[in-house]
Amino acid sequence: MSNYVGIDLGTTNCAVSKLDETGRPIIVHNPDGSNITPSVISFSSARKYDVGEVARKSLGEPNTFGRFKRDMGSDSEFEAFGIKHTPESLSALLLKKLKEDTENTIGNIEEAVVTIPANFANEAREATLSAASKAGLNVKNIINEPTAAALYYAFHSGRELDGTYAVYDLGGGTFDVSIISVHGKDVEVLATEGVSKLGGDDFDRALQKIVSQKYKKETGSDLDLEDYNLIDAEDDKKSLSRREVIKVGLRSTGGRASFEVSQKDFEEAISSFVAQTEMLCETAIDDANLVPSDISEVFLVGGSSRIPCIQKSVERIFKRPPVSFANPDEVVALGAALYAAYKSDGKFLNSIQKQSVEKISVAEITSKFFGTISVGMSARDELARGNSIIIEKGEKIPCIKEESFFTLADGQTAVNCVVTESNTNETDPKFVKIIWEGDLELPANRPANQEIIVRFSYDQNQVMKCSFIDVETNKKTEVDLSMSKGKENADVDIDKFMVE
């Protein structure tokens, strides 16, 4: 039997889901019997590694890596036993293990949908697709995490959802808020905001800092952070979600209670992060041209949404208590499984499963601005470089947009082709990220003012194709940003690595 699965490739934890015989998404438990697998890899030798809870216990030790999703698409290096890994190659190893474990439990994975934070940049999306392919997974579609969550809430609520909803997703390393219109199983994203480096990890550090300060006040000396490391802080942080006050112990005293930390201490310490999430919620509501009272319900996603002051903050902003009738660690994977079945060819679905996904429809929007850099006359009649937006943030996808530019000089034989990405509608090239650059050669001996069309197309997986076209000759420079095979790293051939 072959399966279509949804994989939530989280910063802190991963989860895998598939449809059961009755068409309901269920979690596929890992070999430890757990519903989530920590996104941690620990190498015991150059080519041998372990993943999950065992690896998490070694966090902080050499050759053990977590939270690498935060740097997805970048050149960050993680070295283990002389081999240099990237966030992408570590993700590939993690996905390879998830694939093996899942296939041992449920049989062959025919196709998988992997989830991505809504605000992931293009290169982080490509890196994720590339990691999945290196892990041997057949991934044709990805879905944004809030959309997957909304899909699951829409499915699971047992009633026809009809209206505008918010998905508030605060995990270990990223924060996203999305405003979504849901009619039955028809999910349309209206606006999305977020930051890729805000979440439970910051709260762990904040708690570690509280304990350090209490230690210093009491003993006059600095706390050795090994004596109360981030794993200790994370465990205590979770207890603090259940109790007003907790007793905190240090390793050197065998964990014997040394200090008291209250929810109030913790709330104060994380208040600047909470303020940032509140601002992003307000922007998202604004971007969707709504006011809080237009939003029917707020769905919670991500482990950090369990923190009481976070739930109070959500209530403050949206003026209603959030709903969390599902396990916030699982909803993204469960929604991805629904999407995987919906997007599949249906060959391995029974008739009930087919029925359960047949009415699904998902419409996403772009979460960044995409543009190109051209030279034009400034207000002071000087030649100046400027960023022109081709695809606006919030544009419904898939979409194709184009704009005409013109050559500047007689006899110009090339134009510099640039693709930019930005979070705001930015005209100054200094403040945009260049995600691709190349040249378009032009025929010699032509006068200035030759038309060059810049065409960007953005597909359902939110990866882009760009063409720079000389209209007279139809000569093109084209780039398929989804086709780049990610950051090549000679050391890391995924097939040569073995799970312990």
Inter-CA distances, 289 with 161, 164, 175, 282, 445, Å? 20, 12, 21, 11, 51
Give the residue among 109, 110, 96 at the shortest CA–CA distance from 9.
96
Name the minimum Å distance from CB 334 to ligand AMP.
13
Name the minimum Å distance from CB 444 to ligand AMP.
56
Place of tokens 């002051």: 309
Who's near 381: CB < 8 A, 6+ residues apart?
A: none
Residue 238 interacts with ligand AMP (CB under 6 A)?
yes
Residue 280 interacts with ligand AMP (CB under 6 A)?
no
Scan residues 152-171 and list those touching ligand AMP (CB under 6 A): 171
Contact pick of 25, 73, 146, 172 for ligand AMP (by CB under 6 A): 172
Give 304 or 366: the residue with its C-beta nearer to ligand AMP.
304
Give the residue among 194, 192, 160, 196 at the shortest CA–CA distance from 179.
192
Name the minimum Å distance from CB 175 to ligand AMP.
10
Q: Tell me, what DSSP letter sits at residue 157?
A: T
Contact pick of 234, 236, 297, 470 for ligand AMP (by CB under 6 A): 234
Contact pick of 307, 336, 340, 463 for ligand AMP (by CB under 6 A): 307
Instruction: Provide the CB-side half-sphere exposure for 121 (13 A, CA).
Output: 21
Residue 11 interacts with ligand AMP (CB under 6 A)?
yes
Residue 52 interacts with ligand AMP (CB under 6 A)?
no
Read off φ and ψ for residue 334, nearest 5 degrees: -65, -40
Residue 208 interacts with ligand AMP (CB under 6 A)?
no
Inter-CA distances, 250 with 54, 76, 111, 269, Å? 22, 32, 46, 20
Residue 12 interacts with ligand AMP (CB under 6 A)?
yes
Give 308 or 386: the residue with its C-beta nearer to ligand AMP.
308
Cβ 334 vs Cβ 6: under 8 Å:
yes
Give 306 or 487: the residue with its C-beta nearer to ligand AMP.
306
Residue 10 interacts with ligand AMP (CB under 6 A)?
yes
CA dist., res. 336 & res. 418, Å (int)? 34
Place of tokens 């470089």: 385
DSSP string, 88-140: HHHHHHHHHHHHHHHHHHH--EEEEEEEE-TT--HHHHHHHHHHHHHTT----
Contact pick of 73, 200, 322, 371 for ligand AMP (by CB under 6 A): 200
Q: Which stretch binds ligand AMP (CB under 6 A): 44-52, 120-128, 232-240, 416-424?
A: 232-240
User: Position 81: which residue type?
Assistant: F
How many residues are there in the chain? 500
- CA 263 to chain CA centroid, nearest Å: 29
What count of other Cβ atoms lies within 10 Å of the Cβ of residue 211?
23
Give 303 or 371: the residue with its C-beta nearer to ligand AMP.
303
Name the minimum Å distance from CB 15 to ligand AMP.
8
Residue 57 interacts with ligand AMP (CB under 6 A)?
no
Read off φ and ψ for residue 349, nearest 5 degrees: -105, 140
Instruction: Provide the CB-side half-sphere exposure for 408 (13 A, CA).
Output: 11
Give 42 or 241: the residue with its C-beta nearer to ligand AMP.
241
Tokens of 130: 């590339």
CA dist., res. 209 & res. 342, Å (int)? 46
Q: Which stretch binds ligand AMP (CB under 6 A): 216-224, 260-268, 298-306, 382-390?
A: 298-306
Scan residues 104-163 and list those touching ligand AMP (CB under 6 A): none
Name the minimum Å distance from CB 202 to ligand AMP.
9
Residue 13 interacts with ligand AMP (CB under 6 A)?
yes
Contact pick of 101, 329, 364, 426 for ligand AMP (by CB under 6 A): 329
Name the minimum Å distance from CB 14 to ligand AMP.
8
Name the minimum Å distance from CB 296 to ligand AMP.
23
Give 175 or 458: the residue with its C-beta nearer to ligand AMP.
175
Measured at the alpha carbon of residue 431, what is the angle toward residues 429 and 432, in degrees to the nearest 5?
70
Q: Are strands 162-170 and 295-301 parallel, antiparallel or unpaired?
A: parallel
Determine the residue with CB nearest ligand AMP. Answer: 200
Residue 274 interacts with ligand AMP (CB under 6 A)?
no
CA dist., res. 399 & res. 473, Å (int)? 25
Residue 194 interacts with ligand AMP (CB under 6 A)?
no
Contact pick of 97, 306, 343, 393 for ligand AMP (by CB under 6 A): 306
Give 311 or 467: the residue with its C-beta nearer to ligand AMP.
311
Who's near 235: CB < 8 A, 6+ residues apart?
A: none
Residue ranges in contact with ligand AMP by CB under 6 A: 10-13, 171-172, 199-200, 234, 237-238, 241, 302-304, 306-307, 329
